[in-house]
Chains A and B, each alone.
Chain A
Amino acid sequence: MISYDIVVIGGGPAGLAAAVEAGKCGGVSVLVIERDRELGGILQQCIHNGFGLHIFKEELTGPEYAERFIKELNELNIEYKLNTMVIDITSDKVITAVNPKDGLIKIKAKAVVLAMGCRERTRGALNIPGMRPAGIFTAGTSQRFVNMEGYMVGKNIVILGSGDVGLIMARRLTLEGAKVQLVAEVLPYPGGLTRNIVQCLEDYDIPLLLSHTVVEICGKERVEGVVIAKVDENRKPVLGTEKYYPCDTLLLSVGLIPENELSQKAGIMLDPVTGGAVVNESMETSIEGIFACGNVLHVHDLVDYVTEESKNAGRNAVKYVKSEISRGGPKMIAKAKKGVRYIVPQVIRLDNIDKAAVLSMRVDNIYKDSKLVVKIGDKTIKEIKKRYLRPGEMERITINKGALSEASDSVISVEVSEVV
């Protein structure tokens, strides 16, 4: 059995950042395992710009962002295996993987970083009635077809869901000559980032129908049209509001699901809200020495934050290998309260906080002129005023170590509150 100090599962933005950071810390052997034919993950198909503003202070495209990390990885001589699928991880960190060159291999790791990313929700997950013709794609699949493989997915397109990839593809397909008729969103507010609504839809006069959904797909061999209806506040279609839109393609941009089959096999505890692992301040899961970061942990909207979180995971994997992670000491539990859906990390061990802890979270609705209130027990320790809070945009709060170590309670909570 081959062995490494740290094995990183996934060579996308999270895996690359974790591996590079681990490599920079030095003194450890690192292996990255990637199932695709090249490193970079989903960034390679995200040819639009807007990546890297926080990390590099410039606007890069996905491939450019990826290439910076791939270059660093190579300069650090970090090993990686492409076309390699991990099929099992055990709780004692034995990884089973398969590729056409090595066949079936087992790798023993001292620490594992899970960076498998997420998958798109499909038609099956939505239960849309109707026929099963060709011409139904998830937005990300269409992105890969158009931007990498060189296939156009259709000419007359309807998009269901206003997730970021769907919005990006609305613009991309319009530029490539397709007619994008509309984007329908079942919720009363858009799912993606505001900038994408502006840049991708408003720029090209593509209507966004909020509180609308597809209730039927028509066509036998190929999509011929879809029926779209308004939905009520319980997301139930309103009878009599159905309208038929002829089209040849339906794109689905209806959410991402962290890909945690391997984590579950290893017996890692998952958070039912995020769909990712429960982690502590070191990005360590419920199994000591197995870390998680990026979209496999919780779905991000900015890759810059994936990078930051993954560097933290990479750094702590090295600390773990060198037995520098503190196990005892005071511990706090992060609780999402009114208006907040979840907080990552879920556990904070104070001894492992260097200067500050970063809490990532999402709100459950749109809030205007409100504030995020951080409390330890009943005591408010921080308030952040927000003109807008949207479920589509992740919020991050930095808490200084000082505020945490003075705490008299072991629960830190965040809630949304109106500004009076």
Chain B
Amino acid sequence: MDKKEMTCIVCPMGCCLEIETDGSHYKITGNRCKRGEEYAVRELISPMRVLTSTVRLKNSYIRKLPVRTNGAIPKSLMFDCIDVLKTIELEPPVKIGDVIVKNILNTGVNVISSRSI
């Protein structure tokens, strides 16, 4: 049996998870909700993160539009996604939830606007 400790970051509670595994089964303790269990397994197999960043805005009182992925993407793709976002420049009006990049890097996840302007 392998034992591993990690801090759950699904929500701000920050539960301290303990994962025991024999390679095929996972036993998770310390989580206060079901999502903690899912997180621990996923984090061991393939860590995923929501990316939040900005794209350039023209002709606006703020020069950056906040954006985010509308789902988690592989952690290993964070910097490649940022490179894509750096090529984008928009002009108002933009609505909250507007798709800024569809299916970024074939992750099946869209980059959407975090605010209206």
Contacts and interface: CB of A to CB of B under 8 A. Distances in A.
A302 B12 contact: yes
Contacts of A141: none
A146 B52 CA distance: 13
A147 B11 contact: no
B113 to A, nearest CB: 9
A63 B64 contact: no
B64 A147 contact: yes
A150 B56 contact: yes
A194 B114 contact: no
A149 B64 contact: yes
A53 B9 contact: no
A355 interface: no
Given A47-B114, A63-B66, A194-B7, A387 B30 contact: yes
Interface in B19-56: 30, 49-54, 56
A271 B104 CA distance: 50
Q: Classify chain B's interface size.
A: 20 to 34
A198 B75 CA distance: 13
Contacts of A150: 54, 56-57, 63-64
Interface string B95-113: 0100000000000000000
A393 B14 contact: yes
A50 B53 contact: no
Interface string B51-73: 11110110001111011100000
Given A47-B53, A47-B114, A195-B7, A61 B66 contact: yes
Interface string A201-245: 001000000000000000000000000000000000000000000
A47 B66 contact: yes
Interface in A180-200: 193-195, 197-199
A49 interface: yes
Contacts of A49: 50, 52, 68
A193 B9 CA distance: 10
Interface residues of A, number: 33
A387 B61 CA distance: 47
B82 interface: yes
Contacts of A302: 12
Interface string A379-399: 000000001100001000000
B90 interface: no
Nearest to B15: A387
B93 to A, nearest CB: 14
Contact of A61 (B49, B56, B61, B114): B114
B66 A67 contact: no
Interface string A20-40: 000000000000000001000
Contact of A197 (B7, B49, B66, B114): B7
Contacts of A44: 115
Contacts of A64: 96, 114-115
B68 A53 contact: no
Contact of B52 (A48, A197, A388): A48
A173 to B, nearest CB: 12
A-B pairs, top 3 by smallest CB distance, nearest first, are: A150-B63, A194-B14, A63-B115
